[in-house]
A and B are shown apart, each in its own frame.
Chain A
Amino acid sequence: AQKITQTQPGMFVQEKEAVTLDCTYDTSDPSYGLFWYKQPSSGEMIFLIYQGSYDQQNATEGRYSLNFQKARKSANLVISASQLGDSAMYFCAMRELLYNTDKLIFGTGTRLQVFP
């Protein structure tokens, strides 16, 4: 079964608008971390934001925020005031602590295109 599910292969948003990229996850580990990465066409994966399973508040980093709904096992990325430079692939990933491993499990990604 997929541990990280990103159901939107592609999304379009107009410049200056907000956009939400969906991510749901599946784990029985009470301690886990959720990450979002951006991958521009250059190929490098850029870390955007992190949410811990025990964090009480939703994570925010500048224009990025994470809408964490633990009971629904969702960790959606919200980008406010989209810019043309936000056009990229976005990946949601999870690390579980239960197995004492540093492995990240990635979703299949969402391609975001920002238009003027």
Chain B
Amino acid sequence: DVKVTQSSRYLVKRTGEKVFLECVQDMDHENMFWYRQDPGLGLRLIYFSYDVKMKEKGDIPEGYSVSREKKERFSLILESASTNQTSMYLCASTILAGVGDTQYFGPGTRLTVL
């Protein structure tokens, strides 16, 4: 079974702190993604990566950056956390393939910024 893990299920940080969310997948997938999920808005793509050291902006990249130094690991960084970044963050991965290949998701990190 594909396994995508995220470093924390719950996280509480203060405004202005630098926050790291880590995601690891064990299936040698090329593509990895970070989403945030807010009630009534569904999932919105923050960043994605299709290879080591490669990254692409998603729909809402402002206030975030990412790092992919190893194929299995994709990190989301909040340089200076703000209260409007309180949200559920989901990581996903998939092989580099056709339109029918699903993304596999981690359990999510619920981040609260005070």
The answer to whether B102 and A47 have CB atoms under 8 Å apart is yes
- The CA of A35 and the CA of B102, in the complex, are separated in Å by 8
Name B94's contact: one of A53, A102, A108, A109 (CB within 8 Å). Answer: A102
B80 interface residue per 8 A CB criterion: no
Known: A33-B99, A43-B107, A52-B99. A91 touches B88 (CB 8 A): no
A25 at the interface (CB under 8 A from B): no
**Which of these binds chain A: B13-21, B35-43, B66-74?**
B35-43
Alpha-carbon separation in the docked complex, A42 to B105 (Å): 12
Contact A33 B100 (CB under 8 A): yes
Q: How far is the CA of A103 from the CA of B47 in the complex (A)?
A: 10
- Chain B, residue nearest A96 (CB): B99
A107–B42 CB distance below 8 A: yes
CB distance from B19 to the nearest CB of A (A): 18
**Cα–Cα distance between A9 and B40 once the two chains are bound (Å):** 8
Interface size class of B (residues with CB under 8 A): 20 to 34
Interface size counted on chain A using CB atoms at 8 A: 28
Find chain A residues with CB under 8 A from B105 CB: 37, 44-46
Could you tell me the distance between the alpha carbons of A89 and B106 in the complex, rounded to whole angstroms?
A: 16
Whether B43 lies near A106 (C-beta < 8 A) is: yes
Bound CA–CA A96/B98 (angstroms): 10
Encode A90-116 as 1/0 by CB contact (under 8 A) with B. Answer: 010101110000111011110000000
State the 8 A-B residue pairs at the shortest beta-carbon distance, nearest first.
Answer: A45-B105, A43-B108, A33-B99, A106-B43, A106-B42, A108-B42, A47-B102, A44-B107
User: Can you list 24 A-B contacts with CB-CB less than 8 angstroms, sorted by A residue number?
Assistant: A4-B42, A31-B99, A32-B99, A33-B99, A33-B100, A35-B102, A43-B108, A43-B110, A44-B106, A45-B43, A47-B102, A52-B99, A53-B99, A91-B42, A91-B43, A95-B99, A97-B99, A102-B31, A102-B48, A102-B94, A102-B103, A104-B33, A104-B103, A107-B42
